[in-house]
A = this chain, B = another copy of it.
Amino acid sequence: MASIEEILKNKGVVTPKVSKRPDGRAPDELREVRITRGYCKHALGSCLIEMGDTKVICAANFEDRVPPHVKNTGSGWITAEYGMLPSSTAPRGAREASRGKVGGRTHEIQRLIGRALRAAVDQRELGERTLWLDCDVLQADGGTRTASITGAYVALEEGLRRMQRQGLIARNPILDQVAAISVGIVDGELVLDLCYDEDSKADVDMNVVMTGRGRIIEIQGTAEGAPFEREQLLAMLDLAQSGIAQLIEKQTQAIKHL
């Protein structure tokens, strides 16, 4: 990953000396990833995904109806909802239920999760059913939306397998695995899997969703501080791909005995 510095040097961009990451990781190192499948007794499929101090419960459930725009198409629909426990952040976050509305950030995240997972599945195989993916953050330390996508995939696969065994669907409609990770530029350095401290001071923050075969489902890069170059985008994309490959492997381990 040293190439980013050279690329930028060639363009005359001066980067500060590489600083240690808050938790001592190498720039291209993921936090410790743990996926506990079957975490929720009552869900069709579920897991607890932990990426360092970020902890998200992901659960899949279905209901026998679809939203109006899918009705009478014979196809199913996958949708997601995202929430954060008030105690998942410091300072305590206000409860959206009490405020009486879902905030803009929540809307943006749950739409992203839904799009990402719909790309993983042939929804025509689901019948006229909605699959709900609930991603609830127990503890937040950066990267909750990407952890949600990676975990939601595991919950979804567990759920679909159960539906298949119960004869509700004829075959597994999954097209490919899906995982997501954040990358960014922090203090001039390219880093993988940003924790909250890094995220809050990043110049560029990018979330990438990819399939098991390395194709892109979604890429969202934002210049929080200063605009960035095409070359930085490519370096971030490469770094993201290396991280996603590791997450795909973690998912594979989590679901191999299904």
Binding site for B on A (CB under 8 A): 40-43, 46, 53, 57, 59, 61, 63, 81, 83, 85-92, 95-98, 100-108, 110-111, 115, 119, 132, 134, 136, 138-141, 176, 210-211, 213, 215-223, 226-230, 233-234, 237
Contact = CB atoms under 8 A, between A and B. Distances in A.
B102 A98 contact: yes
Contacts of A220: 218-221
Copies in the complex: 6
B83 A97 contact: yes
A134 B85 contact: yes
9 contacts: A43-B90, A85-B134, A92-B134, A95-B97, A108-B111, A216-B223, A216-B230, A218-B220, A234-B234
Contacts of A100: 100-102
B218 A223 contact: yes
Contacts of A104: 102, 107-108, 110-111
Contacts of A226: 215
B227 A119 contact: yes
Contacts of A227: 119, 176, 210-211, 213, 215-217
Contacts of A95: 81, 83, 97, 134
Contacts of A87: 40, 42-43, 46, 57, 59, 61, 134, 136
Contacts of A61: 86-87, 91-92
Contact of A237 (B97, B108, B233): B233
A132 B86 contact: yes
Nearest to A176: B227
A230 to B, nearest CB: 6
Contacts of A229: 215-216
A226 B218 CA distance: 11
Given A97-B83, A234-B234, A42 B90 contact: yes
